[in-house]
Amino acid sequence: MTKLNQHLTPLFSTLKDVYAKRDITPFHVPGHKRGKGVDKEFYDFMGPNPFSIDVTIFKMVDGLHNPKSCIKEAQELAADAYGVRKTFFAVNGTSGAIQAMIMSVVKPGEKILVPRNVHKSVSGGIILSGSMPVYMNPEVDNELGIAHGVKPETVEKMLKQHPDTKAVLIINPTYYGAATDIRKIAEIVHSYDIPLIVDEAHGPHLHFHEDLPLSAVDAGADICCQSTHKIIGAMTQMSMLHVNSNRVDANRVQQILSLLHTTSPSYPLMASLDCARRQIATEGRELLEKTIKLANNLRAEINKIPGISSFGKEIVGREGIYSFDPTKLSVTAKELGLTGFELETLLVDDYNIQVELSDFYNVLGLITLGDTEESTNTLLEALKDISKRFYGTGKKIEGEVQKMPPIPEAVLIPREAFYSEKNKIRFEESEGKICAEMIMAYPPGIPVITPGERISRATIEYIKGLKDAKLHVQGMEDPELNYINVIEEEDAIYLYTEKMKNKMFAVPMNLGANKAGIEFGPEVLEEYYPDTFGEMTYIDIEKQRENFNEPSLKYKNTILHTCNKLAQATNEAVRDGFRPITVGGDHSIALGSISGVALEKEIGVIWIDAHGDMNTDETTISGNIHGMPLAALLGAGDRDLVNCFYEGAKIDPKNVIILGARDLDVKERDVIEELGVKVIHYDDVMHKGLDHILEEIKDHLKIDNLHISFDVDSIDPEFAPGVSTPVRNGFSPEEMFQTFKFLFKNYSISSVDIVEYNPVNDKNGKTMDFVNELTEFVLNPNC
């Protein structure tokens, strides 16, 4: 039940009864000055009234971006009519509203779950937000040749596979009227405490009649948008965006709409939105009763015509169809040998009837509040005549929808693909390249490949099959698809994802460990694996004057000088959009790599090491600084080390985990306990299992950006003997790859250290090979 007087139209009434009646002399835009400056033919056709209320923002008529009077009241009435918390007028159509919804709930690099058959405005919203789409396949109806909804089971499965998803977008209903079980989907999505956003462009009427599918606003969606102009009486371009949950910040929605909306919205169009709300709120059920009856009667009569048919509620229960909107009228004449495209052409050219769209099998017409028996009879008689003309020719449109290949590998997120340089090559030679175009197949109206995805041989063969079958393929710059735009690997721009471009630094230092051999690690790796390590930038070790009266801080000045240089380099890399990868050298260099990153980002650190490296100058036994960097980064110990690159601690203890510790000094344990750093010993991994430990890490580290500082001695010396301070037992290579994959999947990895590889102690290149394979993964993670 509504609480406000839905017969009111505050915006329209202000324009008509306040502004237009006052005979104001306008010295404001628009320049036609209430129609006096309009082209005569256009003015004669339109009449005076639209121009009399065509105004700009001023106090009398309120403003859309900061509404205080009549627009504010009009939006409140709309929210009341739909039973939601907040409604915004969307003057850039539902396309702009969809983009605003996406930008309101996901940030750059975050995952959003979307159906594969989304409207292009969703792709636009994903590009604008910088988010990462995770695609769900809708259910494809081979008989009808169209895609339906996404099943709740599909949503649940994909969320289990991608538990770091930040929002889910659903279409309700589809263009063809199929609606999924949106209430069940809302329950699943909310069990992850993330918002459900709904593209309800084709359902602004659903809330107002019980014989229609359930509206998103009634099913528990957190935010949805509707094309008020599609079924009910607003003018083209006018839509509404509804917020109905505290999972979505309405103030943020307002800010984003202000970014996207024109600063000169059309007042006549907004007035039509105000009046359309009044109409549907006060007369909606009666008007929809008539509309549904017209649609059902027309469908029944069409199904009596030889060779022509129109599906209806009998399809409910098929995969992806929980309910059906009868106002969507799909008509097929494939039994007459006519494609949907041909049928549309006949209706326009021979009968002056324009349908909403056509696909390979169907035309789609909309039965709305504006239809009458006269209009539906006009379509019915035209279809009867077409049946007489083409029935009995023996020609039929045969064949089923081809099974689509798997969703291709996503190399770039859409924003990255949009900004990357494109090159045109022959389509036949595009295997393995990154696609720069969207290629859509009709039927079933689902993208075969989208920008940023890798072109596979299966994709090429599928598209060739579509062309051979003379099915409709669109979206390409070259309609014949002899050529295709691609993105070369070297031209790709990586912005937010785990596949961002890397910048590698080599720090050949052994002074922190005070043991020979570690300094040769980067050089040996580069010599044997130039493809992996051939582009490292070396940080030179410049010997500084040392105070040898400080046995507890050996080579402090040279180490600190080197770490400051490394910090400067990693900081510049992060600011330029790169992920710094630092190859050592001993573990003291993490003082520099982490300091450089931490100046730009709040980061967590997972310190994978047999040792804690949490000694200070007061607790150390050896005086070797490679056993101190983590403590210094947390603000403990020698002040010069603590103040490397900039003053103070660089990381918060609650955002740090030491993983795989097997050898902690007695006094070092006191430092760890005092600072409150979580330690997961390798014994814990053995007893609980690595899967359990990784989930424990995820529960503890509640931070977006993560630095991985990996010491090779965390690996069992049986598999990696090439270290300076080996400790018995430890991770296997397989366990470490599993750990890295988990971290890359669940966090934005800002930077990585790989340290303490000592080729002098290696056996048959075992450690070198492992370090190379791990670094290859870090450079090109495949999660």
Give the tens place of pLDDT for each residue, 66-90.
999 999 999 999 999 999 999 999 9
pLDDT tens for each residue of 736-780:
999 999 999 889 899 999 999 999 999 999 999 999 999 999 998
Q: How far apart are CA 309 and CA 303, in angstroms?
A: 5
Inter-CA distances, 600 with 574, 595, 645, Å: 7, 9, 12
Q: How far apart are CA 639 and CA 753, in angstroms?
A: 23
Residue 711 annotated among the catalytic residues of the structure: yes
pLDDT tens for each residue of 238-256:
999 999 999 999 999 999 9
Q: Which residues, 6 or more positions from 317, have their beta carbon under 8 angstroms from its beta carbon?
A: none
DSSP state for residue 33 in the 8-state scheme: T
pLDDT tens for each residue of 522-549:
999 999 999 999 999 999 999 999 988 8
The continuous run of DSSP H or E covering 167 comes out as strand 167-171
Per the listing, tokens 């029935």 go with 391
Catalytic residue among 162, 202, 611, 707: 611
Ranges assigned E (strand) in 568-704: 579-584, 603-608, 656-661, 678-681
Count CB atoms within 10 A of the CB of residue 540: 9
pLDDT at 35: 84
Rounded to the nearest 5 degrees, what angle is found at the Cα of 334, between the Cα atoms of 329 and 340? 55
Q: Give the model's confidence band at 640: pLDDT under 50 very low, under 70 low, under 90 confident, else very high.
A: very high
510 close to 586: Cβ distance less than 8 angstroms: yes
pTM score, whole prediction: 0.68
Q: How far apart are CA 701 and CA 44, in angstroms?
A: 68
587 close to 632: Cβ distance less than 8 angstroms: no
Catalytic residue among 359, 453, 519, 613: 613
Q: What are phi and psi of 545, to 5 degrees?
A: -65, 125
Amino acid, res. 340? G
Q: Which residues, 6 or more positions from 296, have their beta carbon under 8 angstroms from its beta carbon?
A: 312, 326
Count CB atoms within 10 A of the CB of residue 316: 13
Q: Give the model's confidence band at 498: pLDDT under 50 very low, under 70 low, under 90 confident, else very high.
A: very low
The continuous run of DSSP H or E covering 463 comes out as helix 457-468
Percent above pLDDT 90 for the chain:
77
3-state helix, strand and coil shares in percent for the chain, rounded to the nearest 5: 40, 15, 40
Inter-CA distances, 236 with 176, 196, 207, Å: 20, 27, 21
pLDDT at 399: 58
The two tokens of residue 504 are 């590698």
Task: Taking residues 26-31, report their average pLDDT.
Answer: 86
Q: How far apart are CA 383 and CA 340, in angstroms?
A: 13
Q: Quick one: which of 35, 61, 58, 96 has its CA closest to 274?
A: 61
Residue 531 annotated among the catalytic residues of the structure: no
Catalytic residue among 54, 626, 665, 735: 626
Catalytic residue among 222, 617, 711, 735: 711
pLDDT tens for each residue of 432-462:
999 999 888 776 677 889 999 999 998 998 8
The continuous run of DSSP H or E covering 125 comes out as helix 120-129
Q: Quick one: which of 319, 363, 323, 368 has its CA closest to 341?
A: 363
Residue 626 annotated among the catalytic residues of the structure: yes
Q: Give the model's confidence band at 712: pLDDT under 50 very low, under 70 low, under 90 confident, else very high.
A: very high
Residue 587 annotated among the catalytic residues of the structure: yes
The two tokens of residue 571 are 């900081």
Task: Taking residues 637-665, report their average pLDDT.
Answer: 96
The continuous run of DSSP H or E covering 332 comes out as strand 328-332
Catalytic residue among 274, 587, 668, 753: 587
Residue 756 annotated among the catalytic residues of the structure: yes
Q: How far apart are CA 237 and CA 246, in angstroms?
A: 28
pLDDT at 479: 84
Catalytic residue among 222, 609, 716, 735: 609
pLDDT of 22 higher than 90 = no
The two tokens of residue 517 are 């051999």
Catalytic residue among 62, 274, 756, 762: 756
pLDDT at 468: 76
Per the listing, tokens 């990693």 go with 570
Q: How far apart are CA 88 and CA 331, in angstroms?
A: 35
pLDDT, the chain, mean: 92
Residue 609 annotated among the catalytic residues of the structure: yes
598 close to 647: Cβ distance less than 8 angstroms: no
Q: Quick one: which of 179, 279, 173 has its CA closest to 229?
A: 279
Q: Give the model's confidence band at 466: pLDDT under 50 very low, under 70 low, under 90 confident, else very high.
A: confident
pLDDT tens for each residue of 186-198:
999 999 999 999 9
pLDDT at 2: 84
- Interhelix angle 733-746/766-779, rounded to 10 degrees, is 10
pLDDT at 496: 55
Task: Taking residues 268-285, report their average pLDDT.
Answer: 96
Task: Taking residues 486-511, report their average pLDDT.
Answer: 81
pLDDT at 783: 47
Q: How far apart are CA 70 and CA 19, in angstroms?
A: 12
Catalytic residue among 498, 665, 713, 753: 713
Q: What are the residue ranges of helices labelled H in 311-409? A: 340-351, 373-390
pLDDT at 475: 77
pLDDT tens for each residue of 671-682:
999 999 999 999
Rounded to the nearest 5 degrees, what angle is found at the Cα of 181, between the Cα atoms of 177 and 187? 145
The continuous run of DSSP H or E covering 239 comes out as strand 239-243
Q: Give the model's confidence band at 500: pLDDT under 50 very low, under 70 low, under 90 confident, else very high.
A: low
Q: How many residues in total does the chain contain?
A: 783
Task: Taking residues 590-595, report their average pLDDT.
Answer: 98
User: 489-498, 643-652, 679-688: lowest mean pLDDT where?
Assistant: 489-498
pLDDT tens for each residue of 119-149:
888 989 999 999 999 999 898 888 888 889 9
Specify burial of residue 597 (Cβ count, 10 A radius: 0-12, 13-18, 19+): buried
The continuous run of DSSP H or E covering 128 comes out as helix 120-129
Q: How far apart are CA 554 and CA 190, in angstroms?
A: 55
pLDDT at 398: 67
Per the listing, tokens 């590889």 go with 757
DSSP secondary structure, 288-352, as one string: HHHHHHHHHHHHHHHTTSTT-B---GGGBTBTT-SEE-TTEEEEE-GGGT--HHHHHHHHHHHH-
Task: Taking residues 194-218, report their average pLDDT.
Answer: 96
Percent above pLDDT 70 for the chain:
97
